Amino acid sequence: MSTLEVRDLHVTVDTGETGAKQILRGVDLTIRSGETHAIMGPNGSGKSTLAYSIAGHPKYTVTGGTVTLDGEDVLAMSVDERARAGLFLAMQYPVEVPGVSVSNFLRTAATAVRGQAPSLRTWVKEVREAMDRLGIDPAFAERNVNEGFSGGEKKRHEILQLELLKPKMAVLDETDSGLDIDALKVVSEGVNRVRATGETGVLLITHYTRILRYIQPDFVHVFVEGRVVEEGGKELADRLEAEGYERYVKKAS
Ligand code: ADP
Ligand code: MG
Ligand code: MG
């Protein structure tokens, strides 16, 4: 049983020319293994900033609050240490990894997370089975990471990592606007399989409600202007689908 705790998190982003801008204004969240949480909010509300901050992206500066995983200070960890501690943050990986095949990338990641290289024979089998479940062509394993990947292939690769690395906590910034219905289903099925193990906590960040038809969250958090303004169960997602974010935006300002 693992717990990810975000307490009163304040974050600024380095905007370059205009300096630091306050984005997160006191975020509180508690996610336990086996639970699936959805963060939903309008564009520009800081959802990706939350994901990047948990991932340790250098552009984002934590100016207050804490993030802990089972009591350990996540914010004090390097990006690699976060992965070893059991955090899966899809966006921490580079957009393209020139010259590194999917197969080698996955093995390197698994070695880092597990603390030792998986035995080659079982590993090959594990990868093949996971790819099979996700409907990924075997030739995909020999392609270079993210090089010329379609939106759907990027997502499948993300879920492939998720299934193979078996993290304690997974933060998925869906950006599901770019997903066609097939990719959406594949992503959802993968997340639901990981979820069914009961060993991974999932934080699903999304602007749209449609992915929540396939992944039914246990908890929904409405995110507006850098903080959580409302919390509830999955019925809250239905309400957002019907009513939009407007009433929350008014409430926050
Ligand atoms: P969301 O994911 O909810 O759409 P973001 O976290 O991407 O929101 O962005 C929140 C706010 O922070 C926006 O106003 C955005 O323009 C700003 N922002 C985020 N990242 C950067 C950045 N790297 N440089 C400048 N502004 C940024
Ligand atoms: Mg956005
Ligand atoms: Mg975003």
pLDDT tens digits, one per residue of 199-222: 999 999 988 788 888 999 999 999
What value of ipTM does the predicted structure carry? 0.94
Task: Decide whether any atom of ligand 1 lies within 6 Å of the 49 Cβ.
Answer: yes
Closest Cα to residue 102, out of 151, 55, 159?
A: 159
CB 41 less than 6 A from any atom of ligand 1: yes
pTM assigned to the model: 0.91
**213-250 per-position pLDDT tens digit:** 899 999 999 999 999 999 999 999 999 989 989 888 87
Percentage of the chain beyond pLDDT 90 is: 55
Domains and CATH numbers, the chain: 3-252 (3.40.50.300)
Reading the block at residue 252, the tokens are 């926050």
pLDDT band at 175 (very low <50, low <70, confident <90, very high): low
Q: Is pLDDT of 95 > 60?
A: no
Tokens of 137: 């062509």
- Judged against a pLDDT cut of 60, whether residue 94 lies above it is answered with no
Angle, vertex CA 64, rays to CA 59 and CA 65, nearest 5: 110
Predicted local confidence at residue 178, as pLDDT: 67
What φ, ψ does residue 82 adopt, rounded to 5°?
-60, -45
Identify the pLDDT of residue 231: 97
Pocket flag, ligand 1, residue 44 (CB < 6 Å) = yes
Distance CA 91, CA 93 (A): 5
Q: For residue range 48-68, list pLDDT tens digits in order.
A: 999 999 989 889 999 999 999
Whether 45 is in the pocket of ligand 1, judged by its Cβ within 6 Å, is: yes
The three-class DSSP label of residue 236 is: helix
Angle at 161 between CA 155 and CA 163, to 5 degrees: 105
One-letter amino acid at 53 equals S
pLDDT above 80 (res 93)? no
Give me the amino acid identity at 104: N
Ligand 1 atom at minimal distance to the Cα of residue 49? 6
